[in-house]
């Protein structure tokens, strides 16, 4: 017998997903974190009669409900053909009184409707939230006259296959891209997943199942569908090719192994390369703390000469990218371990630690916001390089806003490739205002431990119109430090330190002068941003700086070999960009210096990802440090995503490209000029690049490279179950399947799987949006079944939500498979990977054209034959939550439900660097800020609305929700759902909050929309559960009784209600017609 229950005894507190990717790292291998460290790797429903006929608690009867009733009642209930007259007469006699009452009511109904309409008109009552009337349509894509949603002219149906473009062929403006089929039966699962015939059915029968299992919330959250994620920790320190490091999970041993040995060990194929093999580098039992107990460490980093290992323990999260740890040094030969920085401490105090390259085992670390260098950790104490670090002054580590918005890392120090110099940034937050928020329960795992008096988090958080942190760049000459240390135990560290200063305006060329002057305006001189630091060789340092509004950019090169008098160095401007107040200048950590790969080449050539003249981001080559004109190595109407690896030995670079479609990711191999030949190489060089994944256009990939360049790990990231294989660069025959996730494939085959369809929508204004539609496994494109559609959007500048990655654990899977909804993820203007013209239009006007695109896309989607246009909603998180609120603000009448999680509601509440990059400064764009804020209109009354946020959100502060709640109160918006999650940060995961949030959202949808597609409520009186109907539901439930089709009492009651409601509708049509509205508008 099939297991019928979709329920579980588990509660929300039983499952918590962290903010990171829920997939676990492969236990047999390792992955690296942001710092390069190696890490070890029940629902309640109303019954079906109530669903059909009764109004929801927070709705009034209106046009939408009446139209819904008409749609349901327009289908005839099938009658049995056996002796119909006799049975009908008998049943009419039994229900004579009921019929008399019904027809008497029909006669009186027009008077009642007229009276009701007069009362509404006289009292100026607003139209109920459940109406279909478009109250205030945005200009540009809807006619001026108000029209009912139900008046939308549906597109003709198409077959749900390749020939019919999966239901889209006859939909004007819809361009089908690709489909990823799901499955509804074991046989379909075997076919799609290429399993042997009968594999899935046999596995299910062994567990007592005769059909596929439902993909319930429990299944999504409990790890059942998790896959093994591979990320080899390649070793740059070992001289041999293809060497990676891993931790034995049982013993904590550190093992070095090369790929040829690993392939032979795991598959029995191939042979071990010369010098290859496996060695236990450090035994876990030899790494001991001060008490002689084996150290429980989290991550490790090996020294450049392989003589020492740095271990991180007791690691504590601070913000998104920042951590603090106790740090230990282990001497491999002596098997001796000791802490650095006067540790260990509780809580841990070291924010960052790293080996200095090209040295034996010198290191630098940051503690209490001061920088320390230990040239010989075996023999002496570390030298403190800075002494001014405080709670508001940061040396060599980022403050909150630079960590979050610029470097996406907690460290702000960079070693020259030869290990002779160290550049670092200093952040002074003294004048930055403090934002503080309470911590109600200091216990991260136990609910109910709230204290009588609360502690609070005090965070220096710059906002538009307020002071930014003042950033300055500095240099430490490590060679000079070593010489000073060798000469004396008492040294003046200041003689080895230099202040790196930006040059004053120097150019007389008008455009260049404008950029220079913008960076040195009275306020911008202090408010300038440093957005990238990179060494080009052992002496040349590149720093990218912008003004506060990210309108102007300068690239500055410092020749650190030329030290003049004093302790200051002034750089040379080599690149300038003016966004001309219409866009924003590039930001990100994209520079890759080629000379650092081979210092003997003495080259300062480097690679960067920049926009070409057509506005598409591509890989560019700069021949030397002072070059201002790049040579583009890639080109086309697609964009490069990121640079993966540069190999000067083979003259190749590898990039991840948004190709062949923007939501794909393919790896391109790109030819490089030979830096050893200098300028002469450029005369004969011709750009050439190749898609190394061209044989798999339907898939998306990512890759990591052996630093020596001989091998790379290729991961198929989606849309199917991920795989990982190591491929040889020099030896093309080397192909080791590291992980095929065969177990995960067989597990996923046992559960219903949604269909994915990717398409573009061309809007009336010519703009094209991208859509990823997720459909139920038993989807019907014919229009006989109508589905609620929940749109999902993020929509932030340069972002991308329509992706190709495999994501079986996402909440959308539950909505689609259990509730029978369709989820449509939309990317419109402002999002990335489609060129500057598509991206830059949102500058100075967030919440404007991207909202236009979403509403225009929704207007076309609602016309698809299978869409229930009265159940078209939108949800989003963070910027997506802001987006949702701005859509509701428009009061378009298209969107009947909105879910906003952790939204920005007023841009002066968010951080200055992000906000001013896109909105520019508050002083220069006051009107733009006011327009971009969320305004509460009647749109919030005309849609079902839910708002949720964590009270401990350090990113988008809870004041955003508090502000919106205040506005909702002032406008008397009632009946919406609101939930605050105590102490949760932006990811809402504290004390089981992540799952509880998604259960809360699901309950909201069930309450407001009910079941969708071929799902129905099961049972009477609130019995729980959703079951799939494999026949279509038309109006009232069509089911035949066991007595051969005779209508039961419940069916007669339903038919009576249908007749009564039809009369109500007809009377209302007549009434509205007399008031000037067309019946077809209903």
Active site residues: 878, 953, 986
What is the residue-wise DSSP string for 904-968?
A: ---GGGS-HHHHHHHH--TTT-HHHHHHHS----GGGTSSEEEEEEETT-SSS-THHHHHHHHHH
**Nearest CA to 652 among 672, 634, 677?**
672
- Residue 484 to residue 494: CA distance in whole angstroms: 11
Q: Which residues pair with 712 in a beta bridge?
A: 705, 727
Half-sphere exposure for 833 (CA within 13 Å, toward CB): 22
- Residue 583 to residue 920: CA distance in whole angstroms: 9
Instruction: Write out the two tokens for 84.
Output: 């119909």
- Residue 35 to residue 422: CA distance in whole angstroms: 16
Give the angle 101-105-109 at the CA atoms, nearest 5°.
Answer: 175
Give the H or E element holding residue 393: strand 393-395
Half-sphere exposure for 797 (CA within 13 Å, toward CB): 24
Phi, psi of 367 (to 5 degrees): -135, 135
- Which single residue is written with the structure tokens 């000079």? 480
Q: Which residues pair with 723 in a beta bridge?
A: 716
945, 898 in Cβ contact below 8 A? yes
Q: Give, to the nearest 10 degrees, the angle between helix 879-890 and helix 849-861.
A: 70
706, 242 in Cβ contact below 8 A? yes
**Nearest CA to 302 among 630, 640, 707?**
707
- Tell me if residue 177 falls in helix, strand or coil: strand
- Residue 155 to residue 129: CA distance in whole angstroms: 27
- Tell me if residue 32 falls in helix, strand or coil: strand
In 3-state terms the chain splits into helix, strand, coil percentages (rounded to 5) of 25, 25, 50
**Nearest CA to 51 among 809, 1002, 1007?**
1007
165: left (phi over 0), alpha (psi -120 to 50) or beta: left
Contacts of 794 (CB under 8 A, 6+ apart): 801, 876, 877, 878, 879, 880, 883
Q: Is the dihedral of CA 914, 918, 920, 925 positive or negative?
A: negative
What is the residue-wise DSSP string for 571-610?
A: -EEEEEEE-TTSS----SS--EESGGG-GGG----EEEEE
Burial category of 248 from C-beta neighbours within 10 Å (exposed 0-12, middle 13-18, buried 19 and up): middle
Half-sphere exposure for 274 (CA within 13 Å, toward CB): 0
């Amino acid at each position: 017998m099939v297991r019928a229950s979709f329920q579980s005894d588990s509660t929300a507190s039983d499952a918590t997903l962290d903010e990171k990717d829920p997939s676990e790292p492969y236990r047999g291998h390792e992955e690296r974190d942001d710092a390069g460290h190696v890490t070890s790797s029940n629902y309640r429903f109303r019954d079906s009669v109530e669903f059909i006929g009764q109004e929801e608690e927070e709705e009034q009867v209106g046009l939408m409900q009446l139209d819904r009733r008409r749609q349901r009642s327009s289908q005839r209930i099938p009658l049995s053909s056996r002796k119909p007259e006799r049975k009908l007469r008998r049943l009419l006699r039994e229900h004579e009184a009921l019929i008399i009452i019904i027809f008497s009511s029909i006669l009186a109904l027009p008077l009642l409707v007229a009276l009701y309409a007069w009362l509404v008109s006289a009292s100026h009552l607003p139209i109920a939230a459940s109406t279909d009337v478009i109250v205030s349509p945005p200009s540009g894509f809807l006619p001026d006259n108000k029209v009912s949603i139900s008046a939308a002219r549906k597109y003709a149906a198409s077959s749900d296959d390749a020939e019919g473009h999966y239901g889209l062929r006859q939909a004007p403006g819809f361009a089908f891209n690709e489909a990823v089929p799901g499955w509804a039966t074991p046989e379909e699962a075997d076919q799609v997943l290429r399993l042997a015939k009968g594999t899935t059915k046999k596995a299910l029968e062994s567990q007592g199942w005769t059909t596929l299992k439902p993909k319930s919330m429990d299944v999504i959250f409990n790890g059942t569908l998790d896959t093994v994620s591979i990320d080899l920790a390649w070793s740059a320190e070992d001289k041999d090719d293809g060497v990676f490091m891993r931790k034995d999970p049982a013993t904590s041993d550190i093992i070095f192994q090369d790929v040829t040995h690993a392939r032979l060990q795991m598959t029995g194929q191939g042979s071990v390369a010369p010098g290859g093999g496996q060695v236990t580098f450090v035994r876990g039992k030899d790494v001991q703390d001060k008490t002689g107990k084996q150290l429980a460490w989290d991550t490790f980093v090996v020294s450049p000469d392989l003589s020492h290992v740095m271990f991180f323990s007791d690691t504590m999260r601070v913000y998104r990218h920042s951590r603090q740890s106790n740090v230990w040094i282990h001497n491999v030969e002596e098997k001796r371990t000791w802490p650095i920085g006067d540790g260990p401490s509780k809580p841990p105090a070291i924010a960052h630690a790293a080996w200095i390259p090209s040295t034996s085992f010198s290191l630098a670390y940051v503690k209490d916001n001061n920088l320390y260098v230990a040239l010989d950790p075996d023999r002496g104490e570390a030298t403190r390089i800075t002494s001014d670090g405080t709670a508001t002054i940061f040396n060599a580590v980022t403050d909150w806003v630079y960590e979050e918005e610029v470097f996406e890392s907690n460290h702000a120090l960079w070693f020259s490739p030869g290990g002779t110099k160290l550049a670092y940034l200093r952040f002074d937050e003294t004048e930055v205002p403090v934002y503080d928020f309470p911590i109600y329960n200091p216990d991260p795992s136990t609910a109910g431990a709230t204290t009588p008096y609360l502690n609070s988090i005090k965070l220096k958080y710059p906002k538009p119109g307020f002071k930014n942190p003042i950033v300055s760049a500095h240099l430490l000459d490590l060679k000079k430090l070593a010489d000073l240390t060798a000469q004396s135990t008492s040294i003046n560290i200041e003689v080895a330190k230099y202040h790196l200063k930006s040059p004053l305006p120097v150019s007389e060329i008008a455009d260049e002068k404008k950029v220079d002057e913008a960076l040195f305006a009275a306020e911008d001189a202090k408010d300038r941003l440093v957005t990238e630091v990179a060494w080009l060789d052992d002496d040349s340092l590149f720093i990218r700086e912008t003004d506060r509004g990210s309108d102007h950019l300068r690239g500055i090169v410092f020749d650190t070999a030329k030290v003049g008098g004093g302790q200051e160095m002034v750089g040379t401007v080599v690149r300038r960009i003016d966004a001309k107040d219409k866009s924003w200048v590039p930001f990100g950590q994209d520079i890759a210096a080629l000379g650092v790969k081979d210092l003997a080449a003495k080259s300062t050539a480097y690679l960067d990802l920049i926009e070409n003249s057509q506005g598409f981001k591509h890989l560019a080559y700069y021949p030397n440090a002072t070059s201002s004109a790049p040579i583009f190595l890639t080109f086309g109407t697609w964009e490069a995503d990121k640079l993966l690896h540069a190999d000067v030995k083979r003259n190749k670079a590898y990039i991840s490209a948004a190709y062949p479609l923007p939501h794909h990711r393919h790896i391109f191999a790109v030819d490089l000029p030979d830096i050893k030949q200098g300028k002469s190489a450029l005369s004969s060089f011709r750009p050439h690049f190749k898609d190394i994944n061209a044989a798999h256009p339907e898939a998306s990939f990512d890759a990591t490279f052996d630093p020596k360049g001989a091998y790379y790990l290729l991961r198929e990231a989606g849309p199917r179950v991920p795989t990982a294989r190591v491929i040889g660069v020099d030896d093309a025959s080397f192909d080791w399947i590291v992980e095929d996730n065969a177990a995960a494939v067989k597990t996923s085959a046992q559960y219903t799987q949604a269909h994915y369809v990717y398409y573009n929508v061309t809007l009336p204004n010519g703009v094209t949006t991208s859509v990823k539609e997720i459909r139920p496994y038993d989807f019907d494109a014919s229009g006989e079944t109508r589905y609620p559609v929940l749109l999902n959007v993020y929509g932030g500048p340069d972002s991308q939500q329509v992706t190709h990655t495999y994501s079986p654990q996402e909440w959308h899977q539950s909505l689609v498979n259990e509730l029978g909804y369709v989820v449509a993820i939309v990317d419109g203007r402002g999002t990335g990977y489609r060129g500057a013209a598509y991206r830059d239009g949102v500058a100075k006007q967030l919440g404007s054209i991207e909202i236009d695109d979403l509403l225009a896309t929704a207007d076309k989607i609602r016309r698809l034959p299978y869409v229930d246009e009265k159940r078209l909603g939108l949800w989003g998180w963070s910027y997506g939550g802001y987006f949702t609120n701005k859509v509701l603000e428009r009061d378009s009448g298209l969107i009947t439900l909105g879910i906003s999680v952790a939204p920005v509601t007023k841009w002066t509440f968010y951080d200055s660097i992000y906000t001013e990059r896109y909105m520019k400064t508050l002083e220069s764009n006051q009107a733009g800020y006011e327009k971009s804020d969320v305004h509460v209109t009647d749109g919030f009354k005309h849609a079902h609305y839910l708002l949720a946020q964590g009270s401990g959100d350090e990113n988008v502060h809870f004041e955003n929700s508090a502000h919106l709640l205040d506005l909702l109160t002032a406008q008397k918006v009632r009946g919406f759902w609101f939930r605050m999650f105590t102490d949760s940060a932006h990811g809402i995961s504290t004390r089981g909050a992540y799952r509880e949030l998604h259960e809360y959202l699901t309950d909201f949808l069930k309450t407001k929309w009910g079941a969708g597609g071929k799902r129905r409520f099961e049972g009477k009186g609130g019995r729980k559960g959703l079951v799939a109907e494999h026949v279509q539901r038309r109006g009232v439930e069509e089911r035949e009784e066991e007595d051969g089709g005779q209508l039961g009492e419940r069916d007669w009651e339903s038919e009576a209600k249908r007749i009564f409601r039809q009369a109500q509708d007809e009377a209302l049509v007549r009434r509205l017609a007399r008031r000037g509205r067309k019946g077809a508008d209903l």
